[in-house]
Chain A
């Protein structure tokens, strides 16, 4: 932090704070407009038909800029804009406080809001994308925006590392989505999802593409084993976590799965992969959530686990799985973003972010306590909340896949009840461990709104069920009917729910009395988890890059070797691959060649001198002799223009060389004599031989072939008088190929500017 910036904060704080809040409320306004438009779209029956927008993008590749508003789009766009609206409003109050805590000027908000808004728009675009390439583009925009949002506190090294990790894990695996799209394009000639659903048939290529797309989606949804970026991403400010890590970024992954599900369903094995990954995520996320002490870490692992449910449901597939997944995403996004905002508000009020230092806040913050209790209950699927129905549909879908899946489903639901109970109880119940300050309305109101939504959904589930049905119809490819309701009888879903509550209560008691069990699981995960693999890989990559860098730019010789040897090797490969007949001809020597031969002999002698002479000035002069004799060769061979340029350039170079060398101290060069010099010497000779031999071969074969009959050259000679010129070379440079010359002189100007600025820095230093 520079003193100047601090001063501006102190004196002009209110002005820049005003600008920052304008920015914040503009973002809120954009979110409100987006939410209103989406609502209008839904009200106009968009889920059944909706508008479509299709423009040719890369027609030769069959790629169209295709957007459409269907049931799935409606669901995710409503979440992105609706929860976006609430989180943005929360952020408008949270961000200025956050910046003030960290002694940063309020104007830094401009590094926050544009990215948040871009993220929301990209999320809506992703929801409406109907083409795999368009899908990929929006997918990547969210990754880039998340990088800047997670790394918002960029003065903290862990924030930067977390941002990079999120970008690498989700961005690199997004490439798998692109590869999958290209694969499908190669087989079926289109990337339009609608066309693919019609024409795609089961087969190895389709299965590979489906798996690749699934990898990208699972990494985005933080599923095992690519889940480790999400807990680290909690370094982000709370509004970012509340938005990206509940309803947006991680939801993008399952959105993609829901979107391309007909492709995945072509091969049941792909769905089984989803099932396994989903259950692994439920278990890992759930167990680790019980071990965490930090508020946002609990929620992060909980998100891994909850999206595991959605992945399991997509793995179960069919109408039941599709509709349960859709309802699950809605209920989860509403409740989870509220819990993230609760965590942020609690930390804001008490200054504490650990469960072990909090407690008894229900007395100080009763509104927040009740609202977040409702949301936690919704996530834990207690009756009278929207969440109850998500688990009802989940249990119905699970029973259709046999006893193993059923048992695992109950275990997972039990874990959820346990860690959410632990989270809420530790904050709001028990002895008060730290004093709480009152909170501004805007930090509590969004939580209340989301809590109210959860309760409304628990009483009147119909609108939510219709939304989920419309989304599931897209995923399943056929109309889907779901009828979530309360039934007071001993049907399997109810029994499973009761079993889950009991299991959850039991686990909660165990976690309270024997926290060491879960801490041990956590430690095991730290030691064996894939995060170590990631950091090891990153470090190894960095080391390899450093080594290559040192090998290449250690001194002038290594830099030249790095250019000349690969060039020579590639040229040699090219020559090995081409036919050699007539390519290497030794022509007759006629008397007119004598001056050329004499000049070339002079050049050879001078070159040998330059390479072997141990003096300082003599090699330079020998080099200029090489240049001058080559200029002579051009003159003799009838290229006076080239000769003139070669001559003047050679003069300038020699002059500068002499000028520089004249000022150097001493007249003899002291080479370090020793064992270390020998291998370098050998390497230099080898590099020189490779480069020289390949250049020799190129020139020889170029001179051996007669020029092709009709070429540009004849045409250019014919048209030279038309261009008011007598000299072809000049006319080519200034007129026929003027654009080439333009680019060349621009490069020259830039290069010399670079040299001059380097020299300047030396002078001023």
Chain B
């Protein structure tokens, strides 16, 4: 890769996360939402993985190894925000607090379940894409993933496959 990318790639993550946060906060009043924010974060992470490869990438972005957890939590948050309204007898995806009721403000951001849904969406999209990129770069590198959490997963996977074959 070119020296420019070598220099840019490691420094892009922080601004990307800033931009994503801004997109989510502003998203409800201006262009952009959780999906774009998620892809932007994933883009910055992907760039670093492409430059460094999986092993060094994992070392430089620790949370990336838990991308699947982030994605799963995001999906759960989205489901909770979407279907939470059914607990008080409203149809799914009725945003809470209900229209006309007072809302908590944080700056320009109004905290409703719809915003929570957007945050869940962001986590799911960024988490899944990072998971995908990690494995793709691992495939390209062709080397085994040695870090501990991944090794655990691999053995669990092995056990599952062996079990499946035994059945």
Contact = CB atoms under 8 A, between A and B. Distances in A.
Interface stretch (A104-112, A164-172, A454-462, A736-744): A736-744
A745 to B, nearest CB: 5
Nearest to A641: B31
A656 B28 contact: no
Nearest to A748: B128
Interface string B98-141: 01100100000010101101100100110011011101111110
A742 B79 contact: yes
Contacts, number: 149
Contact of B82 (A4, A645, A722, A739): A739
Given A727-B27, A729-B33, A756-B131, A663 B95 contact: no
Interface stretch (A200-208, A249-257, A319-327, A757-765): A757-765
Interface in B40-56: 40, 42-43, 46-47, 49-50
Looking at chain A's contact residues, the main secondary structure is helix
A655 interface: yes
Nearest to B85: A738
Given A660-B136, A723-B99, A727-B27, A738 B117 contact: yes
A644 B31 CA distance: 8
A734 B33 contact: yes
B139 A656 contact: no
Given A648-B40, A730-B118, A749-B75, A655 B50 contact: yes
Contact of B39 (A645, A663, A762): A645
A655 B36 contact: no
A759 B114 contact: no
Contacts of A2: 166
Given A723-B114, A730-B118, A734-B114, A749 B128 contact: yes
Given A644-B36, A652-B43, A656-B46, A730 B132 contact: no
A331 B28 CA distance: 79
Interface in A1-31: 2, 4
Contacts of B124: 745, 748-749
B149 to A, nearest CB: 14
Give the interface centre of A651, A655, A725, A745 by most chain B CB atoms within 10 Å: A745
Interface string A286-322: 0000000000000000000000000000000000000
A670 interface: no
Nearest to A760: B157
Contacts of B136: 656, 659-660, 759
B43 A648 contact: yes
A764 B157 contact: yes
Given A641-B36, A739-B93, A756-B135, 17 more contacts: A4-B166, A652-B39, A652-B46, A655-B43, A659-B49, A659-B140, A730-B33, A730-B118, A734-B118, A738-B114, A741-B117, A748-B124, A749-B124, A752-B71, A759-B138, A763-B145, A763-B154
20 contacts: A644-B32, A648-B43, A652-B39, A652-B42, A656-B46, A656-B133, A659-B50, A659-B137, A722-B100, A723-B112, A724-B95, A727-B28, A730-B27, A738-B92, A739-B92, A745-B121, A755-B132, A759-B135, A759-B139, A763-B145
Interface of B: 1, 27-36, 39-40, 42-43, 46-47, 49-50, 68, 71, 75, 78-79, 82, 92-93, 95, 99-100, 103, 110, 112, 114-115, 117-118, 121, 124-125, 128-129, 131-133, 135-140, 144-145, 154, 157-158, 161, 166
Interface of A: 2, 4, 640-641, 644-645, 648-649, 651-652, 655-656, 658-660, 662-663, 722-727, 729-731, 733-735, 738-739, 741-742, 745-746, 748-749, 752-753, 755-756, 759-764
